[in-house]
Each structure stands twice: as structure tokens, then as C-alpha cells.
Amino acid sequence: MAQLQTQSQRQTQGSASASAVLPEALPTTAGRARRKQTFFDRFLRHRSAVLGAVVLLLVVLVALLTPVLMNHDPTLAVPQSRFARPLSEATPPAEGVYIFGTDNLGRDVYSRVVKGSQVSLVVGLGVSLAVVIAGTCIGMLAGFFKRLDNPLMRVMDSMMAFPGVILALAIMSVRGPSVGNVILALSIVDTPRFARVVRSVVLTLRELQYVEAAHALGVTNLRIMLRHILPNCLSPMIVQATFVFAAAVLGEAGLSFLGVGTPPEIPSWGQMLGDARNFLAQAPWTMVAPGAALMVTVLGLNLLGDGIRDLLDPRLRRQG
Amino acid sequence: MFRYVIRRILAAIPVMLIVSTTVFTLLFLTPGDPAGVILGPDATPERINELREQLGLNDPWHMQMLRWYGKLIQGDLGNSLSVNNRTVMQAIAERAEPTILLTTLALTVSLLIGLPTGIVSALSRGRVVDTLVMFVAIVGVSMPSFWLGLNLIYVFAVSLRVLPLAGYQGLDQGLGETLRYLIMPAITLGLAQGALLARMTRSMMLETLGEDYVRTARAKGLNQPAVVIRHALRNALIPLVTVVGLSFAVLMGGAVITEQVFNIPGVGRLLIQAIGRRDYPLVQGIVLLIALMYVLINLLVDIVYGVLDPRIRQSRA
């Protein structure tokens, strides 16, 4: 999960300067409509962004269509068909083809991979939502009110003083394995970085003339934050949220691989890889599909995030 | 310079305080009773309560924490509940060697991969090599380390049988033997970081290659290698120092997973074992030590950064 942190660190610097350019770009509603149009056009021309979006869409489709796509019960252990090779027929009374083979308990790997997409997406979505909400609140308060800046950011700093995996492990050891706790642990890990990004953007926006003008007109702080500052933070927030999503999917897999993530009865890619590890010589196929699914999902998210950043950050676009 | 160093050290102290308080509180809130763990399932409630009283577990939070801090300053992290007759410090020290070697090797791997590819990519910007390198790099960043590890084990240990499947041989068995056991884990752990480093190196290089002083160097007729190495790379390396410092933290965290993949008896595996056996003092000790190491490494990076770049020393004055 922490693999992306240095990258996001860089993001902090990139987006701060980008934001200074953005406010001019959204004056009227007509202009806004035109800008959306061109953004979408540019998006379609950005090959890796489109590739990432397509991959992500596919994973979402798989997760939504899980009941249709599965051909076995993903949690049903069939002792007589342990370690069935990929594409082998099930031994009666079980039926159907084991597309990716079966694992050490005789569970169908294909159905488990399909089912596993759900946990990955739920955790990814849950964590990015929680991080966006918490990170935006904290970053906004720290950036807008000078008094709150130091205390809030010191706490964020010390949360970042734990390597992500270690902090998540410590939280999981306290709370016990469950999907909700995985979301909680990973959200706590990823919030400080997001808050930093928001804060750095708010710091630059706060000094701009239109904010000063709003102050002079007697607009309330809350209204300035929501109406004038928040909309201009959106683009770095979207980019950052995509990376948080990717990091959360990887993080869930890592925790489950270690046996402290999702509980055993919920199929998850990381957990499948953890099981596969013990039977690598006998059944190497058990590690292929879950690992590939995991990598492709994370790759899709990273491509999408990179693409959106290229499109939204004029400074980076110039660099090519 | 001296004042800058002192200021960085002073800034690290509150972070360390909050870190250690967080670690203590987190484990304090843990459900489950250490006294019950020590005595086993057959213990009577009276016996458990007696031991709780003895261990000071019945005291309020702040009393326990003050006592814990008092011992911490003397380097005493308490006794491990699951590793026989060991203090937490001893238990960690016994497992430190493989983790330190693994992390260092992985950092070396990531530098060896990241720097050259990043530079080549920046110099051939927009061409096929660049596109290819950057695509491989983003695949590398997205590759779950444990999956990479399993694949390496399958290819080199199960199929080709050229490297040991898993486990670890200490330095007392000879450096060569140790390396044979650590090479796959180091690649597993270092590759993603190397890919990330390649991306960073590329963008830093692109930034410096566009600077005026590089154009000046070219204009005065300096040859390409001299421009790249002496002017562009040297300036690009400064921010990269920070990245390497952060890498260390990521690698220390990642080592937990890598040690699990390769059955390496390091601190990371010890942590997983301690969590499984509800050995709270040990969990607390490991998490705290890793976090403090991270703070110290970042402090060191900040200082090196200040040495390399006078502007940093000034601006934070």
C-alpha cells in the first residue's frame, strides 16, 4: 500500500502549482460546459488513461455480474477434487469445469477469483471515500485556519512516521480480521497523505485575490471554503483518490496474504495467494489467476490516475 | 548548518512522542487479556486477577503509560510473552540480522534498477525506449510484491532448482550462502521501489534537462555525457535523496510481507507471529522500534538534504 507514497509525495508538489492555473479556467457555466467537453475529448485521446478506464470498468462489471459468472460455490470445499488442474472436469457428484483448477480444499479457483473482485472493489471504494472525506476536512481546516495548521499537521506527520504496512498491521491486530476493519485500517494509513495534498492546494488558493475579495464582501468562512476553495481543489483530489484506490486494493491483498485481512470465509485475492504459497510445488496454478487479477486491477487504476494527472496538470503535460 | 541540524532534531522529538503514545494507546485498547494468555485457558479468575495486579494491568491508562515511558527511556521494552525467557529487546535483536540485510539489499536493487533506467528514459524522451521503460515501470509499480515473489520461487526454486526455495542462512555460514538465500527476496522487495524510482528519476531529469544552466552548458560546447552527468544528474539527485529516505520506510514495511513469502526469520515474521500469539509487549516493541527508525532515517535524510542543498538550510531558517 505504501508503494505509491513517494509518488503521491511528488503529486503534492505537482498539484500545488497546477491549482494556481485552474481558477481562471472555470468562469461561466458556458465555459465550464465547453471545458468538460474538451476534457472528455482529451481523455479519449490519452491511450493509457483509456486503457486504465477500460480495465477498471471490466473489473466493476465482473464484480456486479459475479452471480452470473461463477460456475461453482466459491466457498464450497470438495475434498475429492483437491488440486484439480485447470480446465479439468469436476468429479461427480460435483459438476462443471474447473476453469482455473481447484485449491488445496477443492474450491474452484475461477469462482473464487470472480468473487474476490467484490472485496477488492468494496475495500478500494470504502477506503477512498473515507480518505477523501476525512482528508478533505483535515486538509481544508489546516490550510484555511493558520492556528489549526501546526497541531493538525504534526499529528498527520506522526501517523506518516509508521510504514503503512506496519500501521495497518498494528490496527488489524487490535481490531481483528473483518472487511470493515480492513477499510478502517487502510483509511487511517492513507488519510494523512491526502490531507497534505489538500492542505498544500488550500494554502495557495487562500492567498488568491478572489478569496480575498470574498472575505472583504463579508462571505462566511464556511461558504468561502465550500463555494470558492473546494471546487478548485477537485482535480488534485481526483488524481489522489485514484492512487488511494489502487493502494487500498494492494493493501487489502497484502493484509489478507498475511492472514490478518478479510476473514477466511470471504474469498479475497490476497488470501488466495497466501494459501497458494503453501502448495506452490503441487499446484502452481492456484497462484496464477488471483495474482494476475490483482495486478491488472491495480495497473488499471495506476494508468487511470497517471492519465488524469497528465490531463489535469498543465505543467506535467508540457514535460510530455 | 549547526543550527539547521539542531532545528531538525528538535522537530523530530514531538513526532517521536506522538508516535510512542499512539503505539502504547493502540495496544492498550486491544481486546484480550495478556494475563490470560500467559496463564493459559485453565487459569482461575482469581489467579488471573492476581497476575493482572502483579503486572500492573489494573492501573489506569496514564499510570501504565508513564511506567512504560520510564522503562522505555532505559531501553526496557518489557518481556516477551511468547518467545521463551526473552525480553522484547533480545527477541528483536535475535531477528534483526536478516531484516537489515534484506532491506539494504532491496534498496541496492531498487537503485540499480531505478537510476539507470530513469536516466535512459529521460534522455530518449518520447521515443520507443522511453515509452517501453515507462510502461514496464508502471507494471512494476502495480505488481504485488508477494505475487512476484511466488513467481520467482516457482521459476528459480521449483522448476530450475538453482536457488533455495525459502528460508535463511546467517552470515556465520558465509556471505555467499546468505546472498543465495536473499537474492530472490531482495528482488521481490526492491523491484516495485526500483520502478517507482525510475519514474521519479525520469521526471527529475526532465526537469533539470530543461533548465537554463543545462542550455548554457550545451551552448558552451560541453559534450553530452558531461552535460548529463555533471549538470543535469547532479541536480536531479538532490530531491532523489528524499525519495530514497522514504523508500527505506516502504521497504521496512514491505519486508514484513517478503519475509512471510520466503520464510525468512526476521523482525517482520516475528511481528506476524507476535500478532498471532497476542504477544502485545512484542508487537508494541516492534512497531515502536520500526517507527522510531523511520523518524531517525528521515531526520538523517533531512540533514543530508541540507548539506547537499544550501537553499534548504536557508529557507527553513
C-alpha cell belonging to residue B61: 491508562
**Which chain B residues are closer than 8 Å to A6 by Cβ?**
196, 200, 243, 246-247, 250
CA distance A169 to chain B (A): 8
CB proximity list for B193: less than 8 A, separation 6 or greater: A3, B106, B107, B110, B114, B247, B250, B251, B254
Would you call A6 and B246 a contact, using CB atoms and an 8 Å cutoff? yes
Across the interface, of B141, B147, B253, the residue whose CB is closest to A163 is B253
**Which chain A residues are closer than 8 Å to B15 by Cβ?**
154, 157-158, 161
- Count of CA atoms in the C-beta half-sphere (13 A) of B116: 5
Helix (H, G, I), strand (E, B) or coil at B162: coil
User: Do residues A49 and A43 touch, judged by C-beta distance below 8 A?
Assistant: yes
Rg (alpha carbons) of chain A, rounded to whole number: 23
CA nearest to B252, candidates B267, B262, B240, B263? B267
pLDDT in tens, B195-243: 999 999 998 888 888 888 888 888 888 888 888 888 888 888 888 887 8
Question: What is the amino acid identity at position A110?
Answer: Y
Q: Sign (positive/negative) of CA torsion B113, B118, B121, B126? A: positive
Residues 165-204 of chain A whose Cβ lies under 8 A from any Cβ of chain B: 165-167, 169-174, 176
Tell me which residue has cell 498527520: A156
pLDDT the model gives residue A270: 94
pLDDT the model gives residue A237: 92
What DSSP character marks residue A229?
Answer: I
Angstrom distances, CA of residue A207 to CA of A101, A214, A229, B5: 61, 12, 11, 31
CA distance B18 to B16: 6
Across the interface, of B26, B154, B257, the residue whose CB is closest to A258 is B257
Structural domain boundaries in chain A: 39-319
Q: Compare all CA atoms of chain A with the CA of B260 and give the residue at the minimum distance.
A: A258
CA nearest to B288, candidates B13, B20, B12? B20
User: Do residues A153 and A138 touch, judged by C-beta distance below 8 A?
Assistant: no
Q: Compare all CA atoms of chain B with the CA of A306 and give the residue at the minimum distance.
A: B138
Residues 203-222 of chain B whose Cβ lies under 8 A from any Cβ of chain A: 203, 206-207, 210
Could you tell me if A245 lies within 8 Å of chain B, comparing CB atoms? Answer: no
Looking at the domain covering A39-319, what would its CATH class be?
Answer: mainly alpha
CA distance A135 to A159: 13
Cβ–Cβ pairs < 8 A, chains A and B: 166
pLDDT the model gives residue B149: 93
CA distance B22 to B65: 11
pLDDT the model gives residue B167: 84
Could you tell me if A89 lies within 8 Å of chain B, comparing CB atoms? Answer: no
CA distance A68 to B189: 38
**Which chain A residues are closer than 8 Å to B193 by Cβ?**
3
Question: What is the amino acid identity at position B299?
Answer: L
pLDDT the model gives residue A22: 44
C-alpha cell belonging to residue B33: 487479556
Tell me which residue has cell 495486579: B53
pLDDT the model gives residue A138: 95
Q: Which residue has the higher pLDDT, B230 or B112?
A: B112
**What are the residue ranges in chain A where pLDDT is below 70?**
1-37, 92-94, 313-320
CA distance B304 to chain A (A): 18
pTM of the model: 0.84
Q: How many whole angstroms from its chain centre is CA B203?
A: 24
In sequence order, the β-bridge partners of residue B79 are B87
pLDDT in tens, B261-305: 999 999 999 998 888 887 878 888 898 888 888 888 888 888 887
Secondary structure, 3-state, A180-218: HHHHHHHHHHHHHHHHHHHHHHHHHHHCCHHHHHHHHCC
**Which chain A residues are closer than 8 Å to B271 by Cβ?**
166, 169
> In whole numbers, what is the pLDDT of chain B averaged over residues?
85
Residues 77-96 of chain B whose Cβ lies under 8 A from any Cβ of chain A: none
CA distance A281 to B159: 9
CA distance A150 to A129: 25
C-alpha cell belonging to residue A318: 508540457
**Which chain B residues are closer than 8 Å to A161 by Cβ?**
15-16, 19, 291, 294-295, 298
Tell me which residue has cell 492519465: A307
Helix residue ranges, H only, chain A: 5-21, 29-45, 47-64, 66-69, 109-144, 146-160, 164-175, 179-206, 209-216, 221-223, 230-257, 269-277, 285-312, 314-319
In sequence order, the β-bridge partners of residue A97 are A89
pLDDT the model gives residue A12: 38
CA distance A266 to B165: 29
Could you tell me if B41 lies within 8 Å of chain A, comparing CB atoms? Answer: no
Would you call B256 and A7 a contact, using CB atoms and an 8 Å cutoff? no
H or E, element range at B198: helix B175-209
Q: Compare all CA atoms of chain B with the CA of A277 and give the residue at the minimum distance.
A: B150
To test the contact with chain B by mutation, choose from A4, A5, A6 the residue with the greatest count of B C-beta atoms within 10 A, namely A6
pLDDT the model gives residue B235: 82
Would you call A258 and B200 a contact, using CB atoms and an 8 Å cutoff? no
User: Do residues B270 and B110 touch, judged by C-beta distance below 8 A?
Assistant: no
